[in-house]
Amino acid sequence: RRKQLLDLKKKKELIVLMETPYRLKTLLRDVVKIMGGEIRCALAYELTKPKEKFYRGKTKNVLEVAEKENLKGEFVLILNNR
C-alpha cells in the first residue's frame, strides 16, 4: 500500500481510495506520512447506512477525528491531490 501511495502522490488529480474497514486509521496515517497532512480530503463513512457520516478537511485533521471517535467500518476516502 505504501508503494502505491508513493505512486499516487505523483498524480495531480482527485484520488478515490477504498480499503478494508479495519484499516481506516492505518491508511490515514500512511497518507499523512507519505502524501502529507495538508492534503484536502473527504471521508465518506458507512455510506447508505443509518450511521452514515462525512468528514472533510485536511488529512491530518480527519485522522485525528478517526482516532478520537475510533472509527471502524466501511469507508471511501477521497483525496484532492491537485
| Interval 59-75: pLDDT, tens | 999 999 999 998 888 99
CB 55 within 8 A of CB 46: no
CA atoms within 13 A on the CB side of 26: 9
Among positive and negative, which fits the CA dihedral 58, 14, 2, 54? positive
Q: Which domains does the chain have, with CATH numbers?
A: 2-80 (3.30.950.10)
Cell numbers for 15: 484520488
Enumerate the β-bridge partners of residue 17: 77
Query: Is the pLDDT assigned to residue 58 strictly greater than 90?
Result: yes
| Interval 32-56: pLDDT, tens | 999 999 999 999 999 999 989 999 9
Q: What is the mean pLDDT of residues 23-28?
A: 93
**From its phi and psi, is residue 65 left (phi > 0), alpha (psi between -120 and 50) or beta?**
alpha
